[in-house]
Amino acid sequence: MLFGSNGQLDRRNRLRETVQPDCHWTVSRRLGVKVFPARDWPVLLPDCPKDFLKMCTPHKSQPVDSSFQPQFSHQSSPEFVMYYANVWISIMVLVISLFVMDALNTILPEEHQKEICRYLYNHQNVDGGWGLHIEGHSTMFGTALNYVTLRLLGEDMRSGDGAIQKARTWILDHGGATYIPSWGKFWLSVLGVYEWSGNNPLPPELWLLPYIFPVHPGRMWCHCRMVYLPMSYLYRKRYVGPVNNAVLSLRKELYTHPYHQIDWQLARHQCAKEDLYFPHSLIQDIIWDGLHKFGETLLMQWPFSKLKHKALSIVMQHIHYEDENTHYVCLGPVNKVLNMLCCWVDDPNSMVVKLHLSRIKDYLWVAEDGMKMQGYNGSQLWDVSFSVQAILATNLTSNYGLMLNKAHEFIKISQIRKDGLRNISSWYRHASKGGWTFSTQDSGWPVSDCTAEGLKASLLLSQMPSDIAGEALEPRNLYDAVDLILSLQNSSGGFASYELTRSYPWLEMINPTETFGDIVIDYQYVECTSAAIQSLKSFITLYPGYRSEEIDACVKKALKFIESTQLPDGSWYGSWGVCYTYGTWFGITGLVAGGKTYENSYSIRKACDFLLSKQLSSDGWGESYRSCQDKVKSVQVCSFFPLFKELRALMNPVAFKTIANGPSDSYLFVCSSESRYTQILKGTNRIT
C-alpha cells in the first residue's frame, strides 16, 4: 500500500464509495480507505467454518495473537492464514477459464462473483483503468482483462456507477485491445475475442530439443517454463472457447475497428506504451517474424506435422506430472489455471479436471475489499518460520507456548520427505527431499530460502523444552534439509530460488513478455544466499559433525557472492521484497552470520552508510515499490516502521547490536547472537 504524508491510504486509484455499516472489517475505516459496500457479508468460502472471518481478523490490542491460527488447514494442522496477492492476472485468468469450461457459476457461486466484482471496482484507477497490480498506473493488460472479467461476471455498461463505461473508454482511447501485451493476446484468443494469428509463436516443439540447447524449456526458470508449457499446448491446438453472445459482444466492445477488419499481422507487434516494461529487441522480433512466417508454415506440412503430435503428447505428460506432483495445486495460480484448462480441452470429463476444480479454493481469499485470487496458495511456511523466530526473540515464550507448539507441528509436517514422483531428471526437476516450500507441502516446490528459514526455525525450536514446543525434528530430517541447501549452490557461490541456474542471462533477449523482466532463467539472489548462510551456520553450531568442511566451503563462497553483488552505493537490490532496504537487510545479516563485522568488513560499512543516508526525518526507513521496477531507490513519503523495529519483528531470534553510529538521535542495528535483550536508548551508546 502507498501512504500519503498524512498517514492515510492514498486513494488516487480508489473509487469514492461510502463504507457501509455492515462491512465486517474495520481496518478500512481505520486507514481511511473507502471501499465498495459488502453485499450479504460475510461471504464464506466452501468448507470454511462459520467463525472463519473472526479467526482471520486480528485483535486490535495484540500485535501477535494466536487467533490468527484457524482450525482448518493443510493436513488438518493449525497454521497461520496468510494472504499473498497483489496482481490481477490470477483472478482474471480463472474467470476466463471457468467461463470457457462452462463452470463459472458452479465453481464461483453468486456471492463469490459479487465479491470479485467488488474487489475489481474497489481498485479501479480514477481514469477508468487498472494497472498490472493494485497500485500500478493503468495499463492495457490490466484494463482490458479486468473489463472482460467483469463482463463475463454479468456486469453491464450501467454497472459500477459508470465504472464499466469508463473502463471501455480507456481501452478505446488507447487504441483498443490489439495493443494488449502478449499474455493478454493469448487469453483473449482462448476466449475467442482475439485471433490466434495475432499472437507470436509459442511452439511446443521446443520441448523436443536436446537438453544441451540453451533455449530448451527445461533450462528456464521454473515459473517461466511452467506457464509457457500449457500456453504452448493451447497455442498449437489453436483452442477457442464457445463463441456465444457474450463473446460476440466483447468483439464489438474491445476494438476501435470492426472485428473482421482488424489487421492481425499488425496487431501481433502492437503493445501499449503504458505496458511496455520490457520492449522486444530487434533480434527477438526477427526470431518471432521468422517463426511466424516460415516455421509455423513448415510445421504444418508433412512430415514435420508429426512433430506437432509428439510435442503435444510430451507437453501433456509434463502437465500431468506437475499436477500429480503438486496435488493439483501447481506451482502458482496462472499455471494451475492453464493446466486445468489444458486437461479440460484434452478430456472435459476426466477425473483430473475434477481434481483441479477442487483445489481452486486454495487460492481464493476474501477481505475487506472483496474476493481475490492469491499469487501463491499462501505464504504459510515462510510466515510461520519468521513468526517463530520473532516470538523466540522476545523471550516471552511462556506466553506463546501453545502457538509455538502448533507452529512447530506445522513446520514438521510441511517438510518434503521424498523427491518428486518417478525419475525427476526426466521432468527437469531438482531434488525436493528435505526442503520446505513457500506455503504448504502440497505445493511440492521447495525454495532455497524457504528451506533455510524452515531449518532455522526448526533448530531454534529444537532447543526449547518439549513441553512448550513439542518434540524436535529428527536429526536425519535436518540433515536432509542441509543436503538440499548445499545442492542448490551455484559455482558462483550464489543461490537461486528453486533450482540451480541452468542457462545464461543472454536468454533474456528472447523474453517473450513485454510486462515482466528477468523471468527466463533462475537468477541468483542476495536474499536466498544470505538465508542459506544463516541456516548453515546455525546448523553447524548444533551439529558440528555433519558435512562441516562442505558447509564451511559453501559459506565462504556464498560470502564472496554477497560481497561481489553489492552495488557501488553500498546497497543490494532485493528481488523478493521492496527493495534496496530489503536486499541490504539480507546482505548485512548474511555477512554477519558468516562472521563479518563492522570492523573487518568494508561491505558492511558501505551498507551502513547507505542505510543511514536514506533515513527519513521520522527516524525510520521507507521505500516504494517503484524501486523494484525502476531499479533506483524510491523513498516512501511516510515511514511507520523504523528499520530496527522491522528487523526485530520479522527477522531473527536474537538481539540487536549497534554496529554503526548515525546522527545523535539514531542508530543502525543488525542482528548478532551475543545478547537476548537489547535496550535502545535514543541519543546514547548504551545497549544492554
Radius of gyration of the chain (CA): 25
Helix boundaries (H) for 463-525? 466-469, 475-487
Calculate ∠ Cα 121-125-130, nearest 5°: 80
Q: Alpha-carbon distance 655 to 474, whole Å?
A: 28
CB 387 within 8 A of CB 49: no
> Catalytic: which of 449, 518, 552, 665?
449
**Whether 360 contacts 90, CB under 8 Å:** no
C-alpha cell at 136: 500500478
The C-alpha cell that represents 490 in the structure block: 551455484
Q: Are 405 and 669 in contact (CB under 8 A)?
A: no
**What's the CA angle centered on 124, arms 121 and 126, to 5 degrees?**
125
Cα gap 605→611, rounded to integer Å? 10
Q: Which three cell numbers stand for residue 288?
A: 518471432
Phi, psi (deg, nearest 5) at residue 537: -70, -35
What's the grid cell of residue 3? Answer: 501512504
Q: Are 295 and 311 in contact (CB under 8 A)?
A: no
CB 242 within 8 A of CB 100: yes
Q: Which of 71, 41, 46 is nearest to 56 (CA)?
A: 71
The angle, 0 to 180 degrees and rounded to 10, between the axes of the packed helices 548-564 and 475-487 is 40
Burial track 215-237 (b if 16+ CB lie within 10 A, e otherwise): ebbbbbbbbbbbbbbbbbbbbbb
d(CA 489, CA 554): 8
> Checking phi first, is residue 40 left (phi over 0); if not, alpha (psi -120 to 50) or beta?
left
Alpha helices per DSSP H over 394-525: 401-414, 448-462, 466-469, 475-487
Cα–Cα dist 558/589, whole Å: 13
| Residue that is written with C-alpha cell 512448550 in the block | 468
Burial per residue of 653-668, b for 16 or more beta-carbon CB atoms within 10 angstroms, e otherwise = bbbbbbbbebeeebbb
Q: Is 175 exposed, middle or buried (0-12, 13-18, 19+ CB in 10 A)?
A: middle
β-strands 364-367, 370-373 pairing = antiparallel
Stretch (H or E) spanning 372: strand 370-373
> Is the link from the previous residue into 642 a cis peptide, with omega within 30 of 0?
no
Verify whether residue 665 is a known catalytic residue.
no
Which residues have a catalytic role annotated?
Answer: 449
